[in-house]
Amino acid sequence: MRIDLHTHSNVSDGSQPPADVVASAAQAGLDVVGLCDHDTTSGWLEAIIAGEQLGVEVIPGVEISCARGPVGIHMLGYGINPRYAELADELERIRNDRVPRAKAVVRRLNALGVEITWQDVVGQVSNETVVGRPHIADAMVARGVVADRHEAFARYLNRSCPAYVSHRVLDPASAVEMITAADGVAVIAHPKAGRGGAQVSDELIANLCQVGLVGIEVDHPDHPQQIRPALADLADQLQLVKLGSSDYHGTGKTIAIGQETTDPQQYEALRHAMRRARWGWEGARQG
Ligand code: AMP
Ligand code: ZN
Ligand code: FE
Ligand code: FE
């Protein structure tokens, strides 16, 4: 069984519509694909219908923007009830704040002598898209300012770079609690990715277990091979489910769908936790 539990569609910053992401998953020989767009669940229905047609199991997820001090953190919520108002309203507030934030990034870029307009950015987003730095990067590529998204991030958009502006985020412990309260399962995404900012400490990962964290991404394209064994050991110590995922963004990144996968036994453990969470059993991670 081939399982890739973290992908993005064009309802956030991936390049393909949700149904096409699932079609790509089928082409890559995946049996299970997770759709985890940033701060939105709006791609779920299209992806699930495509999955039914193509014989691919679609696991609905969301990647919630969080931060603790200077550390940017992404928290995955699998199987949440999208009608749970506290979480849905918070996701809406985060999405809404992305627009003034992106405009502020454009102003910073202008001040740095990069001539792009808000209309350039709008030209990069599909209808109903959660606007993010990748769209700004794409606008810069279209203008010929940089060669690709990677250069845009390295020179301008990373946390440590001059055009970086933050947006509304959740504290990671609140995100874990809200995901759990919404009958979902919380998994911390790429905690050791860094990406031009600080990494998530082992201490914080342990603290998040106290509030209900169920899993952790160990195999991720942004995790160098040499750090993975220690991260897997930490996960075992904390009794966390270990995931492997591509974080596929379509043409937005060079990573192929299914390039990293989750072990079937770990997937089974995640499914057990999701089933328990569905029934509101807060002890989802204890078994
Ligand atoms: P935002 O949510 O607007 O802060 O943007 C974060 C997104 O930017 C993440 O989903 C990453 O996939 C993407 N990203 C971060 N660094 C890079 C990079 N160096 N190249 C391409 N995409 C990146
Ligand atoms: Zn992204
Ligand atoms: Fe992420
Ligand atoms: Fe992601």
DSSP 124-170: TS-TT----HHHHHHHHHHTTSSSSHHHHIIIIISTTSTT------B
Ligand 1 pocket, residue 271 CB under 6 Å: no
DSSP, res 259: S
Ligand 1 pocket, residue 14 CB under 6 Å: no
pLDDT digit string, tens, across residues 36-88: 999 999 999 999 999 999 999 999 999 999 999 999 999 999 999 999 999 99
Q: How many other C-beta atoms can be found within 10 angstroms of the C-beta atom of residue 211?
A: 14
**Please, are residues 65 and 38 in contact by the beta-carbon 8 Å criterion?**
yes
pLDDT digit string, tens, across residues 155-207: 999 999 999 999 999 999 999 999 999 999 999 999 999 776 789 999 999 99
DSSP, res 200: P
**Residues counted in the chain:** 287
| Whether pLDDT at 278 is above 90 | no
Atom of ligand 1 nearest to the CA of 253: 21
Q: Around ion ligand 3, which residues have CB less than 5 A away?
A: 74, 189
What is the model's pTM?
0.96
Ligand 1 center from residue 206 Cα (angstroms): 25
Ligand 1 pocket, residue 195 CB under 6 Å: yes
Site to substitute for ligand 1 among 153, 168, 220, most atoms within 8 A of C-beta: 153
Ligand 1 pocket, residue 44 CB under 6 Å: no
Ligand 4 center from residue 251 Cα (angstroms): 14
Backbone torsions φ then ψ of 108, nearest 5 degrees: -60, -45
Give CA–CA dist 30/283, Å, rounded. 30
| Whether pLDDT at 283 is above 60 | no
Atom of ligand 1 nearest to the CA of 39: 2
Pairing of strands 241-244, 32-38: unpaired
| Whether pLDDT at 17 is above 60 | yes
Ligand 1 pocket, residue 63 CB under 6 Å: no
pLDDT tier, 284 (very low <50, low <70, confident <90, very high otherwise)? low
Give CA–CA dist 24/43, Å, rounded. 15
Closest C-alpha to ligand 1, atom 6: 133
Percent of the chain's residues with pLDDT above 90: 91
Please give the pLDDT value at position 282.
Answer: 59
User: Could you tell me the sign of the dihedral formed by the alpha carbons of 234, 240, 245, 249, in that order?
Assistant: negative
SS3 of residue 22 by DSSP: helix
Ligand 1 pocket, residue 60 CB under 6 Å: no
